[in-house]
Amino acid sequence: MFPIYTAAHAAKKEVIMPANSLENKTANPGPLGLLGFGMTTVLLNLHNAGIIELSIVIVAMGFALGGTAQIVAGICEFRKGNTFGGTAFSAYGFFWWSLCLIWINPFGVNPADAVSMGFYLALWCIFTFFMFLGTLAHNVITRIVFLSLTVLFFLLSIGDFTEKSDIKVIAGYVGIFCGLSAIYSAMAQIVNGEHGRKIFPT
C-alpha cells in the first residue's frame, strides 16, 4: 500500500501511513554484548582460578561469543550513536580474538612469554581504568563490571610479571565475579525491558 495524502496534509507536507505499517525499532544490543563478555569471562577465569583446564572449550567460546558477539554488539552501538558502548564492546571483542590468536598461534611466530603477556594485560588494564571513569556517569552495575575488570587485568598483569600462580588464582575469582556481574546486567536489561518496569535493580 502507498501512503495516503489528503489536501490538508499535503499542504503541511505530512504523510498518513497505513494503519498496518510496521514501526521501525532498533533493538538494544547491550545485553548481547554483556552476555558475550560475561559468559566468556566466567569461563576463562574458572581456568585462572584452577577449577578447569584451558581447552578448546574456552578458545571456541572466546572466538564466538566473547569475540564475534561483542563486535556485532559494538557495531550496533556505534550505529545508535553510543560511543561508549560501541568502543567497549568492539574493543573487548577484538581482545578476545587477539587472545585466541595468542593461544593457538596460527602465524608460527615466537609464542607469548610472561613479560610480553604482562605488558599486553597492563595495556588492557589502563584502557579499562579509563573506561571505568566513563562509567561514573552510568548505573551502579556498570561501574561494578568495569571496576572489577580493571582489578582483574591488573592482577593478571602482575601475575605474569612476577610469575606467581597464586596471584592468578586470586585474579580468577575476581574475574568470575566480574563476569557474573556482566551477566546480571544483561539479564536485568532483558527482563526489565520485557516487563516495562524495574524488576532487577541496576
Cα dihedral 73, 79, 80, 83, rounded to 10, equals 80
pLDDT beyond 80 at 17: no
pLDDT in tens, 60-85: 999 999 999 999 999 999 999 999 99
Contact by Cβ (8 Å): 25, 80: no
Indicate the domain borders of the chain.
Answer: 28-195
Mean pLDDT within 15-42: 76
pLDDT of residue 26: 82
More confident residue, 19 or 194: 194
pLDDT in tens, 88-108: 999 999 999 999 999 999 998
pLDDT of residue 108: 86
Percent of the chain with pLDDT over 70: 88
Whole-angstrom distance, CA of residue 85 vs CA of residue 30:
8
Which residues in 14-42 are b (16+ Cβ under 10 Å) and which e? eeeeeeeeeeeeeebbbbbbbbbbbbbbb
pLDDT of residue 11: 43
Q: What is the pTM of this model?
A: 0.85
Whole-angstrom distance, CA of residue 75 vs CA of residue 182:
19
pLDDT in tens, 140-176: 999 999 999 999 999 999 999 999 999 999 999 999 9
C-alpha cell belonging to residue 3:
501512503
Whole-angstrom distance, CA of residue 200 vs CA of residue 197:
9
Whole-angstrom distance, CA of residue 183 vs CA of residue 202:
12
Cα dihedral 27, 30, 34, 37, rounded to 10, equals 90
Contact by Cβ (8 Å): 152, 170: no
